[in-house]
Amino acid sequence: MKDFKDKVAVITGAASGIGRGIVNRAVREGMKVVLADIEAEALAQTENELKSLGATVLSVLTDVSKAEDVENLAQKTIDTFGEVHLLCNNAGTAPIGISWECSLSDWKWIMDVNLWGVIYGVRTFIPIMLKQDVECHIVNTASLSGLMANEIGQGMYIVTKYGVVGLTEAIAKEFSLLKSKIKMHALCPGMVKTRIMDCERNRPEEFCNDITVPIDHPELEQIWDAMRGLGAEGEVPDRVGDMVFEAIKQDVFYILTDTRLAYRRMIQTRNEEIMEAFKQNKQIHKSLE
């Protein structure tokens, strides 16, 4: 897709962070934008700011962890604009904790938002896009953590982002076989200046029954403090939004906001370890013959 003017975009997590960055670029491209977010005040403020600039926007209070909310988002989009051409499943959360120490509420919350939110998005919007029979794009926000498991204390987050990458890859192959006009993209950001480390502000009451009480891990505090600092020094959301649109124009599947050599080496090391495992397991098979 090269021309976005008057096309319709639906963006979750639209009132802050990466979502807002994508929204800002969509508005500059002349798109009609549906803003979805769980934060009512931030959502209303975003809508007002954009309307004051002359943008055509619709805000829909949405909890992506609920299938009915995502279905309502789709219905309001169609009722208002009649079609949808770009879906960005972007809303996310990132509670920190050692994997086995995290409560079931922690696990359920992050799985429901980060993974099920994307599942609800594609299941709800893809049938609509298929009926339109025009070029459409879906951008699923994963993470570099969906390509390599290197962050200590983010096991839950990594599980969800690996899932998003795998789901996006699988759907892309299905679309290719079916010769669909819908294109998939996996957005895998590195550190970005967002409030995701302050995600507890959006934790629904239903996931507050057994919140993990932080367990003292002095040996990890320095690592977690560094992670928080990296977020403050990360890429600005507007530039991420620009990268997303340029990737759509060039039909790039993996959208990487940080291409530093260190990250490339981490991903390469993981792939090399998997290939080495083939050799090792070949020996195991041989020994069992």
Residue 26, class by beta-carbon neighbours within 10 Å (0-12 exposed, 13-18 middle, 19+ buried)? Answer: buried
Q: Which residues pair with 245 in a beta bridge?
A: none
Q: What is the 3-state secondary structure (H, E, C) of 125-149?
A: HHHHHHHHCCCEEEEEECCHHHCCC
Residues in Cβ contact with 113 at an 8 Å cutoff, skipping those fewer than 6 apart: 64, 65, 91, 92, 93
d(CA 179, CA 161) in angstroms, rounded, equals: 27
> How many other C-beta atoms can be found within 10 angstroms of the C-beta atom of residue 1?
15
Helix (H) or strand (E) holding 248: helix 237-249
One-letter amino acid of 107: W
Is 157 among the catalytic positions?
A: yes
Catalytic residue (one of 157, 162, 254, 263): 157
Asked if residues 255 and 185 have their Cβ atoms less than 8 Å apart, the reply is yes
Closest among 40, 21, 26, 39 to 193, alpha carbons compared: 21
Question: Residue written as tokens 């055509």?
Answer: 56
**Which residues have a catalytic role annotated?**
157
